[in-house]
A and B are shown apart, each in its own frame.
Chain A
Amino acid sequence: MNATITVTILSSIGFFAGLMIYVASKVLPKEDESLAEAARVKEFLPGADCGACGYPGCFAYAQAVAHDKQVFAKTPCPILAQDKGGMKKLEDYLGLQAEVIVGKKAVVHCTGGSHSIVEYTGLQTCAAATQLASGFNECPYSCLALGDCVRVCPTGAMSIDQEHHVAVVDWETCIGCGLCVTACPQGLPELIPANTPQYVACNYQAKRDIPGRKRCPDGCIHCHICEKVSEEGAVTWDEKKDLPIFHVTQVDTAIEKCPRHVIRKTVAYEEKELEVVGSAQETG
């Protein structure tokens, strides 16, 4: 008897609550047009909620676009900008052309050549490992390969090269959101323009030598040869870190002359031409 009453009361209250929600959805005025429009725009977005566009999430970006279409034209979604088909669909829907932007990609400034000097058995995150004397590698500025960047990467572009113990970026899937840059306690990843043909794979900061620690056999020896053999302005020197900075100009001689072969080529080097993303025109 008691069980019947219990079941009846619970199910009838549940039914009544459901009914009330249904009635409320019918009686209340229709959803505001801007929200409905934002929901339609969101259908075209990748839905990664990475925040690279400057808005807190895909829905907030969709709301901003629904409010003012020029938001999309001026700051296209960086993920969508790499997908020409998806870009075209949203451009057709909004009836405008987005500005051509050169996206950004992450690179890791480390070769992984530094070996461990102690056996680290603590918490397996880079953030924890760096709390103790800048990590367990001989080079205090090196990649610890414990994968803090891998865990934050929204697209899985980051991975650990198990052979060399270093984080590597897959430029095909990297969306340039910069989450790895903030996650890395060593400050190794950096966002560079997607048409930069080369970067230096070393982060050894010679002006901040730590006693008893040294750079790996692959590391930059700060000889400035890359700066000397390249044309004016192609390579600048980061005085603070004592490392070269490479720009869009391709520096073949510098790559050749580098005594440590620490200048790495990017995807843009092989393609030779500038990788322009965000354009609706089919470049072929």
Chain B
Amino acid sequence: MNNLFVVFFSMALVNNMILAKFLGLCPFFGVSKKTKSAVSMGIAVLLVMLISSAVTWPIYYYILVPYGVEVMKTVIFILVIASLVQIIEMAIKRTNVTLYNALGIYLPLITTNCAVLGITFINVNQVYSFWEAVFAAGGAGSGFLLVLLIMSGIRERLEFSDTPKAFKGTPIAFITAMLLGLSFLAFKGMV
């Protein structure tokens, strides 16, 4: 039990998907302009990470390993994640139009999000058990959500601050990301 929490927090803070592993950087800059859309994207990624980890773990250990075709994991994981996102998008579109409108383009974008594929590979490389894999996915998703939330909050305030003209927009966002990454470096001592 204790081990699960270590996995969760190490994935959320120490090995943060964005700031330590540099995965999922496109939504980090693309969707972090407004807090509302950042949170929607974060939650969507968290959900897809959880489900895809729970689905790819059995596929890897019960199908790929016994037949000795672990090399196939990239193509099969992509296939599984892509179809999962399709089903989730369909489910949201048919049941909750408001949520569908709010998520908009972000849901299909997750299909091509490297953070989702990344967490399934991390699970395999670290030889996590099933529950460890699920907790790692939860931690990675929460860390992603947390960083997106912090970044969007900072960027919203930057809009109103007196930034030098040359730094307006993306350049100051890069500098913010750098400082954010430095501050997350402090978590290295935690686990």
Contact B94 A13 (CB under 8 A): no
Give the interface residue-count category, chain B: 20 to 34
Contact A10 B72 (CB under 8 A): yes
Instruction: Decide yes or no whether A31 CB sits under 8 A from chain B.
Output: yes
Instruction: Decide yes or no whether A245 CB sits under 8 A from chain B.
Output: no
- Contact A30 B76, CB 8 Å, known A6-B69, A9-B63, A21-B83: no
Contact B79 A13 (CB under 8 A): yes
Min CB–CB distance A198 → chain B (angstroms): 37
Number of A residues near B (Cβ < 8 Å) is: 21
Among B85-93, B125-133, B178-186, the one that faces the other chain is B85-93
User: Within 8 Å CB of B6, what residues of A?
Assistant: none
Option from B63, B90, B101 in Cβ contact (under 8 Å) with A24? B90
State in angstroms the CA–CA spacing of A83 and B76 once bound together.
Answer: 49
State in angstroms the CA–CA spacing of A34 and B90 once bound together.
Answer: 15
User: Within 8 Å CB of A31, what residues of B?
Assistant: 93-94
Instruction: Decide yes or no whether A28 CB sits under 8 A from chain B.
Output: yes
Instruction: Decide yes or no whether A210 CB sits under 8 A from chain B.
Output: no
Option from A2, A6, A10, A28 in Cβ contact (under 8 Å) with B91? A28
State in angstroms the CA–CA spacing of A28 and B95 once bound together.
Answer: 8
State in angstroms the CA–CA spacing of A2 and B67 once bound together.
Answer: 8
Instruction: Decide yes or no whether B59 CB sits under 8 A from chain A.
Output: yes
State in angstroms the CA–CA spacing of A123 and B101 once bound together.
Answer: 40
Contact B76 A24 (CB under 8 A): no
State in angstroms the CA–CA spacing of A249 and B59 once bound together.
Answer: 75
Q: Interface majority SS on A: helix, strand, loop or mixed?
A: helix
Option from A5, A13, A21, A25 in Cβ contact (under 8 Å) with B67? A5
Instruction: Decide yes or no whether A32 CB sits under 8 A from chain B.
Output: yes
Instruction: Decide yes or no whether A20 CB sits under 8 A from chain B.
Output: yes
State in angstroms the CA–CA spacing of A164 and B59 once bound together.
Answer: 66
Option from B59, B83, B94 in Cβ contact (under 8 Å) with A18? B83
In the complex, residue of chain A having the shortest beta-carbon distance to the beta carbon of B81: A17
Contact B90 A25 (CB under 8 A): yes
User: Within 8 Å CB of B72, what residues of A?
Assistant: 6, 9-10
Instruction: Decide yes or no whether B190 CB sits under 8 A from chain A.
Output: no
State in angstroms the CA–CA spacing of A29 and B69 once bound together.
Answer: 38
Contact B76 A21 (CB under 8 A): no
User: Within 8 Å CB of A32, what residues of B?
Assistant: 93-94, 97
Option from A14, A21, A35 in Cβ contact (under 8 Å) with B97? A35
- Contact A5 B69, CB 8 Å, known A14-B79, A32-B97, A63-B101: yes
State in angstroms the CA–CA spacing of A25 and B63 once bound together.
Answer: 26
Min CB–CB distance B191 → chain A (angstroms): 35
- Contact A21 B87, CB 8 Å, known A10-B75, A14-B79: yes
User: Within 8 Å CB of A30, what residues of B?
Assistant: 94
State in angstroms the CA–CA spacing of A9 and B79 once bound together.
Answer: 12
Contact B86 A10 (CB under 8 A): no
- Contact A29 B94, CB 8 Å, known A9-B72, A13-B79: yes
Query: For window 30-58 of chain A, which residues contact chain B by CB distance below 8 Å?
Result: 30-32, 34-35
A-B contact pairs, 10 of them (CB 8 A): A2-B69, A6-B69, A9-B64, A13-B79, A13-B80, A24-B90, A29-B94, A30-B94, A32-B93, A35-B100
List the 9 closest pairs (A to B, CB-CB), nearest first.
A17-B83, A28-B94, A32-B97, A24-B87, A5-B67, A6-B69, A29-B94, A21-B86, A31-B94
